[in-house]
């Protein structure tokens, strides 16, 4: 059993790293993928493709996590985890081999990414539960610390890996050519196959399962459909609608949000009335579980979308202002995110180890407080910052995330009965993924609305200074200011937006050809960045202030979580670490006393709160 717990930790860490890395690798490398399959990112008809390739992975995982966690409690966590690894690896192979080009090829990639996300949901939902089964309470913080590096750190590493892979040329092997975009998807294939074989060979079923339980079909359908509509609605709210720069006024978006919210309310009523609910809502009456889950949701809501905004800030504005060509920006944007990765790698394992000895409340509260301060620091930076300034802020932000993640996850998992660990792990991961997806929509909307408000005041002067005649300036100004979403996505995709905007403007009635000198000025990498810099600076500062306030609220919730509580062990503090290894079942030796506890009292008679 001693050796087995390290097997669980190493395999779930590999699975978490792979699943989270694949969730973000396209943020940086998507330009290469679009060019490789022959899709124009500036064509408005491709916006849904762009949105689904970027966000579809997170939508699917967030939707399925609780259902998968519940099924794992019923049918076996190791079995479901192994199945997820196999699905994930199979989808990775399909992504690598996808044979089509153009729009057909892009939608095929979307479909295979969604299948890959199904597999990832099994990995996300079961990792924390498998670790909780295998490790005693006084070592779970340490185990979660290592595992959280994989899940959160992997999403950061994905940015760097994507940037590096996007910069390499096509690989020529004799008469065969392996395009760069296929290499990006190839990365996860050998690791996925190895992890799948290893998981089937080594992981075994030690979880507690109750016989005779039924699948809560009504609850599963209400939750999955409601959350899907809610997340799809927020995702399509990013797309332009009519004359508006965003789609929040679209009847389809509003209908999706309203129906989705109604279904989630219905889910609550269903779960309170069925004999075998998909998720036992009474677990939220345990203060440690409720506070940890709420803080995780709010923390994800604060930081999830800012990752995309930071990448856009680097790729679309700061790097071009400093003379980098748009083709170089994906690699350098990934490199510039490395201080955040370093901060997380430094603080994650240490905070997990300390939480085993001193409890989760202080560490998680300090971590969220550091995050709030780092967001404030980012809000005060000018758009054209000095790099060491943002490097320090990103390192502090990574440290804050690391200090919060492991202690909080261990506290949540310690507080639930053994038979509910799968669904509890799924709920925690669902709240985090949902917060991240909604954060993307909220913060990107803040920036787009801010740009739309500021561009009319900055574009005419910039075009005049470049020598554009007044008639052409009016046409080009409309092209720039009328579609800030497309312009920003273009910069994000490693393309010079002015090249496409000039092509659009030149086909308009009344356009007169520009001189080569004026065209060169407009196509210089820094021109577009200088045009959007004032509006982007004001907007992103507002987004960081909102993120700081949310993170501060999460810090307060963490501070109010109460004394450490371990299900089946009533103690004011976690037991001290022992040099003698104990069987994994020992910490939950008291759990059978609660096996017959009412769903309304998830902690049994020993629950102090």
DSSP line for 528-554: HHHHHHHHHHHHHHHHHHHHHHHHHHH
H or E, element range at 227:
helix 217-236
Structure-token pair, residue 376: 């404030």
| Predicted local confidence at residue 375, as pLDDT | 94
d(CA 450, CA 555): 28
Residue 518 CB neighbours (<10 A)? 16
| Predicted local confidence at residue 354, as pLDDT | 82
Phi, psi of 320 (to 5 degrees): -60, -35
Residue 268 CB neighbours (<10 A)? 14
Give me the residues paired with residue 173 across strands. Answer: 176
Name residue, tokens 């995702």.
Answer: 235
Q: For residue 173, what is the DSSP state? A: E
| Predicted local confidence at residue 169, as pLDDT | 83
| Predicted local confidence at residue 294, as pLDDT | 92
| Predicted local confidence at residue 589, as pLDDT | 37
Contact 564, 572 (CB under 8 A): yes
d(CA 401, CA 368): 7
| Predicted local confidence at residue 454, as pLDDT | 80
Structure-token pair, residue 237: 């709210």
In terms of Cα–Cα distance, which of 285, 284, 435, 295 is closest to 372?
295
Contact 17, 188 (CB under 8 A): no
| Predicted local confidence at residue 395, as pLDDT | 94
First to last CA, the chain: 33
| Predicted local confidence at residue 316, as pLDDT | 79
- pTM (two decimals): 0.77
| Predicted local confidence at residue 396, as pLDDT | 94
Buried b (16+ CB within 10 A) or exposed e, 158-176: bbbbbbebbbeeeeeeeee
Sign of CA dihedral 449, 451, 452, 453: positive
| Predicted local confidence at residue 588, as pLDDT | 43
Contact 65, 125 (CB under 8 A): yes
Q: What is the mean pLDDT of each run of 10 residues along the chain (609 residues)?
A: 80 86 78 82 72 81 82 84 92 92 91 92 84 82 76 73 80 82 88 89 74 75 88 81 81 93 92 82 86 91 81 84 79 83 82 80 92 94 91 92 85 81 79 83 83 80 87 83 69 71 83 89 85 84 92 92 62 43 40 34 38
| Predicted local confidence at residue 283, as pLDDT | 82
């Amino acid at each position: 059993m001693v050796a087995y717990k390290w097997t669980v930790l190493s395999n779930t860490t590999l699975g978490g790293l792979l699943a989270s890395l694949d969730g973000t690798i396209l943020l940086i490398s998507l330009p290469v993928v679009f060019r490789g399959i022959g899709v124009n990112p500036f064509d408005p008809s491709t916006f849904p493709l762009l949105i689904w390739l970027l966000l579809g992975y997170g939508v699917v995982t967030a939707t399925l996590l609780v259902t998968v966690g519940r099924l794992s409690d019923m049918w076996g966590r190791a079995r479901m985890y192994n199945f997820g690894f196999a699905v994930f690896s199979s989808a990775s192979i399909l992504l690598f081999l996808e044979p089509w080009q153009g729009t057909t090829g892009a939608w095929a990639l979307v479909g295979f990414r969604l299948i890959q996300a199904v597999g990832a949901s099994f990995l996300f939902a079961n990792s924390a539960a498998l670790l909780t089964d295998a490790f005693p309470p006084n070592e779970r913080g340490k185990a979660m610390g290592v595992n959280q590096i994989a899940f959160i750190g992997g999403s950061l590493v994905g940015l760097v890996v994507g940037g590096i892979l996007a910069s390499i040329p096509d690989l020529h092997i004799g008469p065969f050519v392996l395009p760069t975009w296929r290499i990006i998807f190839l990365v996860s294939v050998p690791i996925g196959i190895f992890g799948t074989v290893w998981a089937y060979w080594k992981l075994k079923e030690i979880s507690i399962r109750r016989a005779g339980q039924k699948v809560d079909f009504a609850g599963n359908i209400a939750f999955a459909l409601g959350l899907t509509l809610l997340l799809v609605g927020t995702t399509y709210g990013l797309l332009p609608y009519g004359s508006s720069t965003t789609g929040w006024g679209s009847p389809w978006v509003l209908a999706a949000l309203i129906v989705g919210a109604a279904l989630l309310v219905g889910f609550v009523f269903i779960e309170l009335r069925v004999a075998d609910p998909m998720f036992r809502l009474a677990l939220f009456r345990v203060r440690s579980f409720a506070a940890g889950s709420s803080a995780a949701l709010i923390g994800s809501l604060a930081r999830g979308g800012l990752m995309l905004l930071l990448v856009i800030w680097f790729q679309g504005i700061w790097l071009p202002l400093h003379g980098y060509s748009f083709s170089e920006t994906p690699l350098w944007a990934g490199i510039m995110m490395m201080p955040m990765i370093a901060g997380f790698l430094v603080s994650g394992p240490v905070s997990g180890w300390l939480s085993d000895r001193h409890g989760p409340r202080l560490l998680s509260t300090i971590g969220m407080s550091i995050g709030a301060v780092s967001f404030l620091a980012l809000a005060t930076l000018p758009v054209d910052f000095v790099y060491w300034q943002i490097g320090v802020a990103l390192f502090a932000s990574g440290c804050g995330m690391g200090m919060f993640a492991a202690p909080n996850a261990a506290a949540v998992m310690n507080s639930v009965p053994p038979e509910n660990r799968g669904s509890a792990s799924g709920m925690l991961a669902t709240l985090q993924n949902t917060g991240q997806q909604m954060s993307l929509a909220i913060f990107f909307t803040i920036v787009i609305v801010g740009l739309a408000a500021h561009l009319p005041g900055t574009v005419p002067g910039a075009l005049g200074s470049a020598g554009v005649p007044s008639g052409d300036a009016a046409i080009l100004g409309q092209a720039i200011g009328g579609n800030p979403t497309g312009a920003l996505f273009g910069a994000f995709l490693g393309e010079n937006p002015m090249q496409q905007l000039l092509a659009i403007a030149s086909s308009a009635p009344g356009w007169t050809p520009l001189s080569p000198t004026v065209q060169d000025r407009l196509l210089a990498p820094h021109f577009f960045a200088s045009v959007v810099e004032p509006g982007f600076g004001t907007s992103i500062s507002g987004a960081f202030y909102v993120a700081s306030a949310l993170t501060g609220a999460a810090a307060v919730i963490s501070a109010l979580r109460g004394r450490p509580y371990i299900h089946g062990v009533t103690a004011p503090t976690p037991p001290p670490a022992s040099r003698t290894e104990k069987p994994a079942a020992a910490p939950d030796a008291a759990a059978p006393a609660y096996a017959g506890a009412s769903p309304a009292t998830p902690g049994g008679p020993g629950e102090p709160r």
